[in-house]
Amino acid sequence: MNLPYYSAEDIQKLKKACEEDLLAYSSQDDLTQLLEDLLINTKLSSYVLTDPPPLLDGSSPAKDVDDAIALHKWLTSATPKIPRSVFGDERLWTALCHKTFANYMVNRWGTEKTDDTPVAEEQTDSRGKPEGYGRISIRFFVKGASQRGIVRNGLARLFWAADLALDSGSYELVHQMFRKQDIHQNIIERSMCIDSKITKSMLKEFARLDRDELSKTKIQLVAKLVNGAGGTRTLETVSKSDMKDSFEVAFPPITVHVARDGKIIYEAINKKMLNEHIASKSIKLTDHIYYSDSTEWITVSEYLKLL
């Protein structure tokens, strides 16, 4: 197949129709009917691709990793090779969202239609737009001409996450990108993601942290610190020490105290040492621990359940 795209005129027609008939985005059949009613013409580029991969049903963010990798491999396998600038083009992503991957998109980002769904005119948000219009306009289209507008598109967000995390041909870091949605959002929607080296360095730092350390607040803080380091000079000059310093501020080393029968047996050890002692059984599951992010003593057994 040839890579599809829509004309700017057809995209404007779709955007206008979206406000008037959001329920067209509740199923692939309804969306197909909308395209036919509006006489939307799918144009074909000169880029030749194999058949599109079957993205998962879109019901869970947990499947984003596999979908991102599959979509990236497919789009980067075109003949001739697609220039990177094309992947910032609204005409491409709008066509892929409405046509090629319509089933995935309506399952993941579409509207819900029930027997008692009010008509669009009766259901509006604080801006007077139909309820749900914001999600559709962001995910099925590209809202605005900014980087943020591109990467919030339902398919572009997957492609660019995989592209920026690709490390010497390996997709391993894509797992870190989607390890928590806060990581994906705080990296890909900031200017620092323009430099893939910074993105990969951050993902490698996140990989060293336990999941229970990755709170939304701390992820936001480290992203702001790294982005801020680039704000005082060009992003290309943000060093490894800048990155390390930012992570140490956002994620200070957690020390743990271990007690048995009311007496401290290990004091201020780090979590790596704690795990080694647990593995060697010098710390028992019935022992109690207290660490800086906790508010009370818990058993080692309870601690392990949090990991």
**Using one digit for the tens of pLDDT, what is the confidence trace for 118-140?**
444 445 555 567 778 889 999 99
> What's the rounded mean pLDDT across residues 194-219?
79
Percentage of the chain modeled with pLDDT above 70: 80
Of the candidates 250, 271, 292, which is a domain's last residue?
A: 250
Give the per-residue pLDDT at 194: 67
Residues 305 and 307: their CA atoms lie apart, in Å, by 6
Number of domains in the chain: 3
Residues 28 and 104: their CA atoms lie apart, in Å, by 9
The tokens describing 153, both together, are 């598109």
The closest of 83, 22, 73, 100 to 47, measured between CA atoms, is 83
Of residues 142 and 305, more confidence is placed in: 142
- Whether 237 is covered by a domain: the verdict is yes
Residues 8 and 145 in one domain: yes
- Whether 210 is covered by a domain: the verdict is yes
Mean pLDDT of the chain: 83
The domain in which residue 280 lies consists of: 255-306
Residues 110 and 195 in one domain: no
Cα-based angle 91, 92, 94 (whole degrees, multiple of 5): 70
Residues 29 and 152 in one domain: yes
- Whether 164 is covered by a domain: the verdict is no
Instruction: List, in sequence order, every residue forming a beta bridge with 257; answer none if it has no partner.
Output: 290
Q: Decide: helix, strand or coil at residue 81.
A: coil
Residues 5 and 233: their CA atoms lie apart, in Å, by 38
Residues 151 and 188 in one domain: no
Residues 227 and 207 in one domain: yes
Residues 73 and 121 in one domain: yes
Residues 99 and 65 in one domain: yes
Which of 100-109, 210-219, 230-239, 266-275 reaches the highest mean pLDDT? 100-109
- Whether 10 is covered by a domain: the verdict is yes
Of the candidates 250, 267, 289, which is a domain's last residue?
A: 250
Residues 185 and 266 in one domain: no
Give the per-residue pLDDT at 244: 60
- Whether 236 is covered by a domain: the verdict is yes
The tokens describing 270, both together, are 């780090």
Q: What is the dihedral of CA 112, 115, 121, 124, to 10 degrees?
A: -50
Banded pLDDT at 155 (limits 50, 70, 90): very high
Residues 115 and 39 in one domain: yes
Give the per-residue pLDDT at 121: 41
Residues 239 and 275 in one domain: no
The answer to whether 176 and 70 have CB atoms below 8 angstroms apart is no
Q: ω into residue 54 within 30 of 0, thus cis?
A: no
Helix or strand run (H / E) with residue 241: helix 240-250
Residues 10 and 75 in one domain: yes
**Contacts of residue 255, Cβ cutoff 8 Å, sequence gap at least 6:** 268, 269, 270, 291, 292
* Model pTM score: 0.73
Residues 51 and 70: their CA atoms lie apart, in Å, by 12
Give the Å distances, CA to CA, from 198 to 178, 203, 241, 242, 275: 17, 9, 12, 10, 30
Calculate helix-pair angle for 216-231, 196-207, nearest 10 degrees. Answer: 150
The yes-or-no verdict on residue 110 having pLDDT over 80 is: yes
The yes-or-no verdict on residue 248 having pLDDT over 70 is: no
Residues 246 and 140 in one domain: no
